[in-house]
Structure 1
Amino acid sequence: MILDYEVLKFIWWVLVGVLFIGFAVTDGMDMGVGTLLPFLGKSDSERRVIINTVGPHWDGNQVWLITAAGAIFAAWPLVYATAFSGFYFAMLLALFALFFRPVGFDYRSKIDNRHWRNAWDWGLFIGGAVPALVFGIAFGNLLQGVPFHLDNLLRPYYTGGFFGLLNPFALLAGLVSLGMLVMHAAVWLQLRTGEPIAGRAKRMVKRAGLFTIAAFALAGLWLTLGIDGYQVSAMPALDATPNPLTKQVEIVPYAWLTNYATHPWTLLFPLLGFAGLGLAILLSQRDRAGLGLVASSLGVTGIIVTAGAAMFPFIMPSSTDPNSSLIVWDAVSSHLTLTVMFWAAMIFVPLILMYTTWTYTKMWRRVTVEEIEAQDHLAY
């Protein structure tokens, strides 16, 4: 079956969004656990408990990030080229921070020395907190527009600098990202650990959850009142051969609210974000961490989809040359490429879901300090 080109373009926008949500819910949780490690674990045994809750899963969860990056490269090559040029140093910072995770997990237990293990614990903190913050900062910059333009050969030229990315709104978006993943991880630790770690995690759920709700609300208000959005005023047919320079784009106040005004049902997305976070806090405080994890997953999904729906059809707006902005309809690969990749995704995304579900099902139990101390041969 050959799908219509216009339909495929939209399907790939949805698929990439699904991959990012899968990454945030699974590997983002692992990052949050790494961020909390030095603070919720008061002894070496307690920190080993925390690490062992994600030890069997973290490398499999990274498949979501790798798959999302590969999907962007295949489906949106212009976005991949422009983003990795403009955000080059930010991406390197996230990548180098991520290096601490596999090395930290594997090397931490090799030497029974307090200073050695403490050093790797802080390495795991960096490997969790820095990427979570950087990814949020990157998205905050997308909502404001990125300083780049395309020449007549569609070659991207980035005209900004690294420190320009660290603007106030982007930093707030980074804090939203970090806060939601920390809260999500805290619910996980409350569910998967015994006392006293579970009690500390329970308190962290409330703190991080309330912080994320406040930061998400502030970011939404700031975006509404203080940041102009982008709007396509003219472009070829949606199934035309992609060429970003054949459209016209305007910067318009309140444009990021257009989709919500045109399609009121999309207001369910921010409501899902707020309701999911709030319900996760409530369930956590009532010691229903299992349902709380589901609620926090829905909250994370709601936050991501809220931003995606606000920007649609934009993927990477240009602040210096709006007509060079990359959107769903003109930043994509050929019809054949999208078709082949679509069927590949129909095969492998369900396999990833099945594998992830199987691993969590088989290893679903609480990890306790007594178990860790009794089985000193455990890997982490």
Structure 2
Amino acid sequence: MTAPPPEAPQPAAGGGRSAQWAIPRGLIVLLVAAATVVAVTGAKAFAGVLGPVFLALMLTIAVQPIQQWMQRRGRPAWLGMLAALVVVYLILLGLVAAMAVSAAQLATSLPDYSDRFGDLLDQVQNLLARFDIDQERIDHALSGFDLGKLVEVLEDLLRGLAGAFSNLVFVVTLLLFMVFDGMSIGRRMDVLRGMRPDIAQALGSFTAGTRKYLIVSTVFGLIVAVLDGVALGLLAVPFPLLWALLSFITNYIPNIGFVIGLVPPALLALLDSGVTKMIWVIVLYCVFNVVVQSVIQPKYVGDAVGLSVTITFLSLVFWSWVLGALGALLAIPLTLLAKALLFDMDPSTRWMDVLIGGSTPGGGPPAPDGSRAGRR
């Protein structure tokens, strides 16, 4: 008795094949890498537009609690929008005006230090000559140091300030539309939470983390700015208010903002009063800024945003390369936005938080749902 012939494989439901076609994991990695390169190249090409858009988004998130507070007190939605808009306009225009006036005063006063700058170059040249360094090499090394060129750069910067106001007008206009949309963002998030809770959770985590980061950075920036401004005033360093403002702004730049804020007042102290005052400026900046920005502030920033120190530094490098100066100022919020879009929206990829998250007060890593392990 012969065995019955084997049955032919039945087609899957819907007429498809029974065997599923899977993309090799290596090919997925290559496709993701290629898509990332294309996206980053496009972002870098449109940095002039994306930078102001992200700045407007961060400012809108910062003042959104004003609208929510007004609505909770029963005030009309348009009144909360108007209050938030006035606050954010005053902050933005105040910073721009203060920087423009201070830069103009600095550019006007720098030519007075030209003789002192020349004397310092002569001293450096004599010092190098004592070490038997070839005079031609000394002249070549010092040829690029010219205070007149620095003044010309500052004057060009001030003349180009009118061009920068085109971006400022764009940011101001975009803020108007974003704050207007903020009147209904609460209802939209409620609807989204019912339809796609994972996406709503990721976006809510991004806005909460960004707002905490901005609050922490602003508070510590004000502390550092006051300490630096008072110290520079007591040392009689020219333009202490300008350097205090610079310390406040560079506090939003992670890791290296302290160095950027230190170099200009230290150099001006050297030109104005010599090496001793420059050393005092460096020492006081290190005492104030290193303690506040490198010891105290990272603890609160890391707890607020959930990013490790390494990821924070890499985000600074990456976003500075893509968007320029605005990328450096907005590196942390932009990284939080990328984290929300790429990882937090999908429960299957939230394990990445364990790798990129910073340590917590309880010593544990961030949990996959965005909460903190070890926190009670």
Please indicate, yes or no, whether the TM-score normalized by the shorter chain is above 0.5.
Answer: no
Flag the structure with higher helix content. Answer: 2
Could you say which structure has the greater relative contact order, defined with CA pairs below 8 angstroms and 6 or more residues apart?
Answer: 1
TM bucket, shorter chain: under 0.3
- Higher Rg: 2
TM-score by length of 2: 0.26
Flag the structure with higher strand content. Answer: 1
TM-score by length of 1: 0.26
